[in-house]
């Protein structure tokens, strides 16, 4: 009789290794460099791919099971929210404008991140990083879908939510997120990881998700909150991947350090400029506020980021070049951005308004050094004009930064009375930037940024008109035609909140009298 041999059970680590390693193969009939043509041309040197430590030990079967359970819970909440007309329970119809900005400017980024990780996952010579990229690609696709589903309910009841994809590809302010993610997408695979996994996911993601999700909680939007929870566990994996990939590259070869430093400088600044939209949302678009942009910056960037760059100093990495200017900007950027959107609300797919007296009081308390000194008078002036039925809309198109594509409204570090402006010449052409850091990005890669699709230039070149436009027809209006090309419905999707159907409908649903058309907001 044979003795029964007890089958040795593998430990978690060995089991994981058995299921994820050694599944790839060595190339035979083609040289390896031809199979992975992109993993060397950026200059990053990798000597041993096996040194890659997977940040989350998750096999594919566990991944599907885990995500599937989260999905069931999320859709149960979304369903209940719709059944119970959850849109009636939000704080104020102004809140929905934060969701409009989210689905127009953030959700498409998830889809791009999905494509980006699927693409770079193919480009790396190491199997560990390929698996991590594959999982993140699936996560991002899921984020895109769950956000779209969670917000689709609002599209039945509010304007400004019907064409986010067309808007992302065409509308002026959405070229800020679009150019950011396309810049990452069109770089090499290691720069993509530095841009998205490290600079965005690890350093800055809390500044994007926390304001939107806690803003949702404070304003009665349980369906968005649940989406936030569902995505949060993915985000922590993504952040771990971000720090792992940066440490892996730094440890592989000292020659990688200066390349990574330049990417960190670049992508910190690009991410920071992109977050201007979040800063504005947080300080001006939430009827019930959570914390100011300045407080969020101090908590998530200055405290966490400070510790991070101290930790990376042992590899020879210093804090990003734009760090100090970004910290100074915390007092200014939300006000400057909202003041700009306020003026261009006729060309955007969401509403703007002047803050109420109480809200200005809150802003003055949160920004004691800047709000009353630099920004209050502007809003009071516009509110007065609006009360006199002369709502101010700026008809001149602004100059845009060649790199971040934000209109040139940022001010000089140390002098908030002076618009910052930088100029560079390349290939016999002049280019304009909003800051030293955007200029440095341009000067490092002028061939790339010379091709930037700048919305204002495109409008002036006639590239943003519908095909049947006839400038010779009587009463032709260039702005009206651009809006028609954008698919923005004038008087519904755009303009001042006080005059919007969103506001009238919300009042009517609550059995309240129709509020006066122009003048003060609640």
Applying CB under 5 A, the residues found at the interface with Fe ion are 110, 140, 143
Taking CB within 5 to 8 Å according to partner kind, which of Fe ion, Zn ion, none is near residue 438?
Zn ion
420 contributes a contact to Zn ion by CB under 5 A: no
404 contributes a contact to Zn ion by CB under 5 A: yes
| CB of 270 or CB of 439, closer to Fe ion | 270
Classify the C-alpha dihedral 71-87-113-57 as positive or negative: negative
- Least separation, in Å, of the C-beta of 109 and Fe ion? 8
| Residue 176 to residue 403: CA distance in whole angstroms | 9
Helix ranges (H only) for 171-221 are 175-185, 189-192, 205-218
Question: Among 434, 452, 482, 483, which residue sits at the site for Zn ion (rule: CB under 5 A)?
Answer: 434
Taking CB within 5 to 8 Å according to partner kind, which of Zn ion, Fe ion, none is near residue 326?
none
Output the furthest CA–CA distance in the chain (Å, rounded): 102
- Least separation, in Å, of the C-beta of 430 and Zn ion? 15
Three-state DSSP string of 425-455: EECCEEEEECCHHHHHHHHHCHHHHCCCCCH
- Least separation, in Å, of the C-beta of 238 and Fe ion? 7
**Segment near Zn ion (CB under 5 A), from 263-271, 393-401, 413-421, 472-480?**
393-401
Tell me the C-alpha to C-alpha distance, in Å, between residue 218 and each of 146, 147, 152, 247, 282.
Answer: 21, 18, 20, 37, 12
| CB of 117 or CB of 486, closer to Fe ion | 117
Taking CB within 5 to 8 Å according to partner kind, which of Fe ion, Zn ion, none is near residue 99?
none
- Least separation, in Å, of the C-beta of 273 and Zn ion? 6
Site string for Zn ion, 438-457 (x = CB under 5 A): x-------------------
- Least separation, in Å, of the C-beta of 320 and Zn ion? 15
Kindly give the interhelix angle for 107-121 and 175-185, rounded to the nearest 10 degrees.
Answer: 10
Residue pair 164/15 in contact by the 8 Å Cβ criterion:
no
**What is the rounded (10 degree) CA torsion for 41, 42, 44, 45?**
10
| Residue 517 to residue 507: CA distance in whole angstroms | 12
- Least separation, in Å, of the C-beta of 57 and Fe ion? 21
Taking CB within 5 to 8 Å according to partner kind, which of Fe ion, Zn ion, none is near residue 330?
none
151 contributes a contact to Zn ion by CB under 5 A: no
| CB of 178 or CB of 351, closer to Zn ion | 178
| CB of 404 or CB of 459, closer to Zn ion | 404
| CB of 100 or CB of 270, closer to Zn ion | 270
| CB of 179 or CB of 219, closer to Zn ion | 179
Q: φ and ψ at 91, to 5 degrees?
A: -60, -40
| CB of 195 or CB of 403, closer to Zn ion | 403
Task: Enter the tokens of residue 20.
Answer: 């994820």
Buried b (16+ CB within 10 A) or exposed e, 223-242: bbbbbbebbeebbebbbbbb
Q: Which residue is nearest to Fe ion (CB)?
A: 143
The residue count of the chain comes to 522
Nearest Cα to Cα of residue 89 among 416, 483, 506, 479 = 506
Task: List residues near Zn ion by CB under 5 A.
Answer: 401, 403-404, 434, 438
């Amino acid at each position: 009789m044979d003795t029964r041999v007890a089958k040795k059970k593998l430990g978690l680590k060995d089991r994981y290794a058995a299921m994820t390693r050694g599944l790839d193969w060595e190339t035979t009939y083609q040289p390896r460099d031809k199979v992975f043509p992109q993993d060397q041309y950026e200059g990053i040197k990798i000597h041993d791919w096996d040194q890659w430590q997977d940040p989350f030990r998750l096999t594919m079967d566990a991944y599907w099971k885990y995500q599937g359970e989260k999905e069931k819970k999320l859709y149960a909440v979304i369903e209940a929210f719709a059944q119970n007309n959850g849109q009636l329970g939000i704080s104020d119809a102004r809140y929905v404008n934060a969701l409009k900005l989210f689905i127009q400017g953030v959700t498409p980024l998830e889809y791009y991140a999905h494509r980006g990780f699927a693409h770079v996952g193919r480009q790396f010579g190491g199997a560990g990083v390929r698996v991590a990229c594959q999982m993140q690609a699936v996560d991002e696709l899921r984020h895109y879908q769950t956000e779209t589903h969670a917000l689709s309910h609002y599209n039945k009841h509010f304007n400004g939510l019907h064409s986010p994809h067309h808007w992302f590809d065409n509308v002026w302010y959405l070229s800020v997120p679009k150019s950011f993610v396309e810049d990452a997408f069109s770089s090499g695979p290691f720069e993509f990881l530095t841009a998205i996994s490290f600079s965005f996911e690890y350093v800055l993601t809390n500044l994007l998700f926390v304001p939107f999700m806690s803003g949702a909680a404070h304003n009665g939007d349980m369906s968005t909150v649940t989406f936030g929870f569902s995505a949060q566990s993915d985000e922590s994996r993504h952040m771990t991947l971000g720090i792992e990939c940066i440490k892996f590259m730094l440890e592989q070869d000292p020659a990688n350090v200066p390349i990574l430093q330049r990417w960190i400088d670049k992508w910190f600044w690009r991410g920071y400029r992109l977050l201007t939209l979040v800063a504005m949302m947080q300080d001006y678009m939430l009827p019930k506020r959570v914390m100011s942009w300045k407080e969020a910056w101090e908590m998530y960037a200055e405290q966490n980021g400070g510790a991070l760059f101290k930790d990376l100093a042992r590899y020879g990495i210093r804090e990003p070049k734009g760090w100090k200017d970004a910290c100074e900007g915390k007092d200014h950027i939300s006000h400057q951005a909202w003041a700009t959107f306020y003026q261009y609300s006729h060309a955007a797919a969401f509403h703007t308004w002047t803050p109420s007296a109480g809200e200005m009081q809150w802003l003055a308390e949160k920004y004691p050094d800047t709000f009353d000194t630099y920004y209050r008078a502007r809003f009071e002036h516009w509110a007065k004009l609006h009360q006199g039925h002369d709502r101010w809309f700026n008809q001149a198109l602004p100059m845009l930064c060649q790199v971040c594509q934000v209109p040139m409204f940022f001010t000089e570090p140390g002098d908030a009375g002076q618009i910052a402006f930088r100029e560079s010449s390349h290939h016999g052409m002049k280019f304009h930037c909003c800051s030293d850091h955007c200029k440095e990005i341009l000067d490092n890669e002028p061939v790339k940024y010379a091709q930037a699709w700048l919305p204002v230039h495109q409008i002036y070149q006639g590239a943003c008109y519908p095909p049947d436009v006839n400038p010779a027809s009587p009463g032709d209006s260039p702005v009206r035609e651009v809006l028609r090309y954008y698919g923005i419905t004038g008087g519904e999707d755009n303009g001042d909140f006080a005059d919007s159907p969103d506001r009238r409908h919300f009042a009517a649903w609550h059995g309240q009298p129709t509020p006066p058309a122009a003048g003060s907001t609640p």
